[in-house]
A and B are shown apart, each in its own frame.
Chain A
Amino acid sequence: MAWAGAELIRRMADGDADACGAFYDRYARLAYPLIMRIVRDAADAADVLQEVFWEAWQAAATYDPARGSPEAWIVTRARTRAIDRLRAVRRRGETFVAPLDEAVASAPAERGGDAAERAADRTAIEGVLGRLPEAQREVIELAYFGGLTQTEIAERLKEPLGTVKTRMRLGLERLRDAMKATS
């Protein structure tokens, strides 16, 4: 179905607002759970979601189907924007309140933890990621959902950097191979 998404992006590049609506209908439900998983706050996630699709509308002409599927295009944007927001929230936290990201990262329950949010928190251990060995899953999640670099992850886990690098690579390769096998 990637061709249908690519066609919508092409029409968006032509300024077709209806195509933008259809593109949103098709891909918002892919982007939103990821954004929610990263920023962990419904109001922030809604803002980021709108930004992501607004940018997609503006950048539609730069989409090149040869460089990736519409899914990867929108997911990469969603992840980048969500991490930007997460970092901004952490900076605010450091500036005005108390040090540190753990407070933010562990806060979803207090920050209006409705059923949807709790579900979003659980998602990490569901699905394909959940089938990875715990140690590999952990480093991938800290990087992808938490926006940490390999060095930061090594510091946090008190593991050698080389170990973190290996786990990350093996984990993602394994994920890739699992995806290939199912598709």
Chain B
Amino acid sequence: MSHEPFETQAPAYALDALDDDERAQFEEHLARGCDACAAALREFHETLADAAGDLTPTVPPAHVKAALMRRVAASGGRRASSRRWRTMRWAVGTAAAVVGVSAFVAGLVASRYEARIGVMARETATVRADLRAQEAALRERLGVAQTVVGLLRDPATRIVALRGLDPTPTATGRVVWHERTGGHMFVANLPQPPAGKAYELWTITGGRPRPAGVFTVDMSGRGSHPVAPSAGPVDVFAVTLEPEAGVPAPTGPMVLASARQ
């Protein structure tokens, strides 16, 4: 393997200072498995990390951590033992104890209360299950909202409009899109897919569609779907109707598409 021009380029690559063509060549060289360059690069990255540690300390503002931790919690990160969960355990424990004592007392005092207590317990369980479902739904919506706000803060984020095509001309959609971190798609006015079918999103790069997940819509025709970053810059977003398990390449009618970027 010709190594000659590359060994001198590792420092500039680590500094991200190579011009585009040189960088592409260097990356190709790395991709071919040049251990010497990979090792040199590692060393330079460690050097730069050390140099960063040598900058004058500046204390980050406290609100950053608070916001980060809220986002992490919303994304489903669990805490080993949060106050919330301790409170919940306490509440559930207390409730269980109350129900237990009540049943015991009721049993002692009069059997006719038992039926009533049974009904109440069932009602309580139903209410609790409903609340849990509602909380989960709200959390999910909050997570989506936070993700989108986070995306919109980044000036590199674009909003790509999707237009309804022949089968569903009134359908509309938007993709809040960041080339590097991905984004989120929202659709409206899409009919509910027939049984066994779902909508599938595609990111099209250089004419090649890549599957970006299946989704469905609610009774009002609305839906949303997270979009992972694609391997290359996305030219077009498109939605087709497919079998509900999803397919690796589009087969069904296209219902939504963006204009070419």
User: Which A positions have Cβ atoms within 8 angstroms of B?
Assistant: 15-18, 20-21, 24-25, 28-34, 36-37, 42, 46-47, 49-51, 53-55, 57-58, 67-69, 71-72, 74-76, 78-80, 83-85, 88-89, 91-92, 116, 119-120, 122-124, 126-129, 140, 143-144, 147-151, 153, 165, 168-169, 171-173, 175-176, 179, 183
Contacts and interface: CB of A to CB of B under 8 A. Distances in A.
Nearest to A49: B64
Interface residues of B, number: 51
A181 B80 CA distance: 41
Interface stretch (B6-14, B86-94, B124-132, B194-202): B6-14
Contacts of A30: 49, 52-53
A85 B155 CA distance: 7
B42 interface: yes
A78 B52 CA distance: 10
B80 A16 contact: yes
Contacts of A153: 17
B54 interface: yes
Contact of B72 (A17, A88, A140): A17
A84 B15 contact: no
A121 to B, nearest CB: 9
B161 interface: no
B83 interface: no
21 contacts: A17-B69, A20-B69, A21-B65, A28-B65, A49-B60, A54-B150, A57-B68, A76-B49, A79-B16, A79-B52, A84-B156, A84-B180, A88-B154, A116-B59, A126-B54, A127-B56, A143-B12, A151-B19, A168-B17, A172-B15, A176-B44
